[in-house]
Amino acid sequence: MFWLMKNFKIYVCLCALFMVSLEIQAQTKVPASELFEVEISQFRRTGSYAEVEGVCHRFAKDHPDAVRCLDIGRTAEGRPIVALAVSRTGALSPKEAQRMGVPVVLAIGGTHAGEIDGKDAGLMLIRDMLKKPSGKDPLQHQVFLFVPVFNVDGHERPSPYNRPNQNGPSLQGERVTAQRINLNRDWILGQSSEMNAMLHFISEWDPLLTLDLHVTDGVRFRHDVSLSMSPMFGVDEPLHQVADQFSADMMKRLSADGHRPLDFTPVLLDFENPRAGIMRDADAPRFSHVYAVLRNRLGILVEDHAWDPYSQRVKTSKDVLIAALDLIAQKGQYLLEVVQHADQNAQTMFSQAVALDWHNMLETGIDIPTGQADLLGYEYTTHTNAPVVGGRHITYHLNQPAVWRMPVYGDIQPVNEAIVSFPQAGYIVPAGWVSVVLPYLQKHNISYQVLTDAMQDVEVQELHVDPDSISFESRTFQGRLRTSMNGEWVSAQTDFPKGSLFVPIRQSRALLVAHLLEPVSPDSLSRWGLFNTAYEITDHISNHRQLQIAQWMYTQDRRIRERYGDSLHRKLSALKKEYQIRMDRDERFQEDPEQRMDFWIRQIPYHDPTFNKYPVMRTDRVLVQP
């Protein structure tokens, strides 16, 4: 009986897989000569990149009025990254789309090349739309940009072992690029050739909506797709509202199509006991859907469910694209007006207090649920001593569907330390740091001006870094040693040589400017370790010399006046009293020779004036007129 039941289930699953395949082909009525490898193989395999390139060029040749096949850049190994521009508006170039006021939607497949549902879904959808009559075609109201495979090098290193938590296809690409860069952590730093090509592509086309098509990493539940948006990183309230409404509309449409969507990607608090609860993650600017927000646009991270059969996942991805394109066809012109107003408002953000980082309050120890949720899952056993390996693990009972009633922790608030007031005018990058900063301004299409003459006594705010606040992560991330620090912004007058940069805050990319140049941003240049040399000691005072200077200061020796001036010499009497008070009252100070030495040495004009000074300054004065 057990054998019959087991094989009957396998039979049912195979039949379901076959029926989904037949349903997709029946809907499109595609001749055999135009089927893709994924369809020919009954969704057991996905095609090679050669198939993608061939399809791209064939579509452009067969439909010259509606399709362009674009080469947007090269991978680290020299492969072309192709994209399709598809529209029936007549706008098949960035200039035409902007001139005609046509909304642009960008969908990206294969960012993680093993999560390749989006590639097959997008190609099938474009083929089907091109075959349909133009009556209710959403392509009449927008340009659809589709990058079938972003991580091409990873796609061309397929293996059956790359995605052990995923149900097909039989061969899957690698998660990272040839240089082992995770592209969906590279949107701010842009250290890969692939991302630099994408950032240039986005600067040209300026998509209203970006959909990044992914697959979950393997938690066993029965929801087939999640859509994540992070509008809180924006500051324009109307744009925030339309983003929330767009998410709700997507959920409604997908539910009506029979899907079981979630409007965020759930993070389990306890992977061995799902009913313990879930939390919403705040994400970070390095992700595609947050990066879109910093550009005052809409971004969605799409995650199909890894354990659904591949045929079902392709259909899910295709339905997500259809829902998005239909909504843009209906609301695209209104959404364009909202984002254009957001661009205009961004140019008036000077002196505004803005939160550059967000976190779930659970991460701060505030263990208060914001509600309850019913997730569609399975019964499971949480082992305290798992069979074979021991330890705490989970076994899902996939023949026992269940509803997980669980607490939700969804309270996302600004990180207090990351709330900053923008300068009145902008930022100044001294000439010595231009080679570090300029490439990032350029790749993100940020406006800046070069000082053509030296300037003296410019009033600025400079950040004096608290040396005790500097910390370096113990391991590299994306090949970088990330750094955190804080300090105090103080008023100063500084000279700037010719060739320094002025970066105005009054521009549509004001949020991106701040996220790059304010050190408390989670993906600032400083946080990524590009300014680490500013926090390194490169010179020192010999121990015996420090002792001599400390003794002179304690005894109020005239040599302090000769070397450091009257101002410091006049303070010595008060410093000695303060020192004695600390010696009498602070046992730790009394027992720590380094603290005692530092008490005196930190009073003298430092011999390394730029040590622990942040290399970008704020200014309330417009230095260069545009």
Rounded mean pLDDT, 540-563: 92
Rounded mean pLDDT, 271-294: 96
Helix (H, G, I), strand (E, B) or coil at 290: helix
What residue has token string 């193989």?
Answer: 41
* 29: region left, alpha or beta (phi > 0 left; psi from -120 to 50 alpha): left
Q: Are residues 241 and 339 in the same domain?
A: yes
Could you give the angle at which helices 593-601 and 543-554 cross, rounded to 10 degrees? 70
Q: Are strands 80-86 and 67-74 parallel, antiparallel or unpaired?
A: antiparallel
Average pLDDT score over the chain: 93
Q: If we measure between CA atoms, which residue out of 143, 140, 254 comes closest to residue 208?
A: 143
Q: Are residues 196 and 317 in the same domain?
A: yes
Strands (E) across 113-175 are located at 143-147
Rounded mean pLDDT, 133-148: 90
- pLDDT digits 0-9 by tens, 52-111: 999 999 999 999 999 999 999 999 999 999 999 999 999 999 999 999 999 999 999 999
Residue 226 lies inside a defined structural domain of this protein: yes
Q: If we measure between CA atoms, which residue out of 510, 498, 339 comes closest to residue 421?
A: 510
CATH value at residue 195: 3.40.630.10
Residue 202 lies inside a defined structural domain of this protein: yes
Cα separation, 107 vs 119, in Å, equals 9
> In the numeric block, which tokens belong to residue 532?
């680490």
Q: Are residues 533 and 550 in the same domain?
A: no
Q: Are residues 302 and 438 in the same domain?
A: no
Q: Are residues 392 and 410 in the same domain?
A: yes
Instruction: Mean pLDDT check: name the lowest of 107-111, 207-211, 255-259, 541-545.
Output: 541-545
What residue has token string 């990066």?
Answer: 291
Residue at a domain's end among 344, 373, 401: 344
Contacts of 594 (CB under 8 A, 6+ apart): none
Q: 607 versus 269: which is more confidently predicted? A: 269
pLDDT of 172 above 90: yes
Rounded mean pLDDT, 178-197: 97
Rounded mean pLDDT, 153-182: 96
Residue 626 lies inside a defined structural domain of this protein: no
pLDDT band at 187 (very low <50, low <70, confident <90, very high): very high
Is the dihedral angle over the CA atoms 169, 202, 511, 523 positive or is it negative?
A: positive
pLDDT band at 611 (very low <50, low <70, confident <90, very high): confident
Q: Which domain holds residue 585?
A: 543-601
pLDDT band at 134 (very low <50, low <70, confident <90, very high): low
- pLDDT digits 0-9 by tens, 491-529: 999 999 999 999 999 999 999 999 999 999 999 999 999
Residue 292 lies inside a defined structural domain of this protein: yes
Q: Are residues 387 and 461 in the same domain?
A: no
Cα separation, 602 vs 409, in Å, equals 46
The number of distinct structural domains making up the chain is 4
- pLDDT digits 0-9 by tens, 430-461: 999 999 999 999 999 999 999 999 999 999 99
Q: Are residues 214 and 334 in the same domain?
A: yes
Residue at a domain's end among 283, 311, 344: 344
Q: Are residues 530 and 589 in the same domain?
A: no
Q: Are residues 171 and 262 in the same domain?
A: yes
Q: Are residues 94 and 215 in the same domain?
A: yes
Residue 17 lies inside a defined structural domain of this protein: no
End-to-end distance of the chain based on CA atoms, in angstroms? Answer: 81
Q: If we measure between CA atoms, which residue out of 215, 288, 227 comes closest to residue 253?
A: 227
Helix (H, G, I), strand (E, B) or coil at 319: helix
Rounded mean pLDDT, 383-395: 96
pLDDT of 407 above 50: yes
Q: Are residues 135 and 88 in the same domain?
A: yes
Give the gyration radius of the chain's Cα atoms.
29
Q: Are residues 153 and 252 in the same domain?
A: yes
Residue 14 lies inside a defined structural domain of this protein: no
Tell me, what's the pLDDT at 460? 96
Residue 386 lies inside a defined structural domain of this protein: yes
Cα separation, 91 vs 98, in Å, equals 9
Residue 354 lies inside a defined structural domain of this protein: no
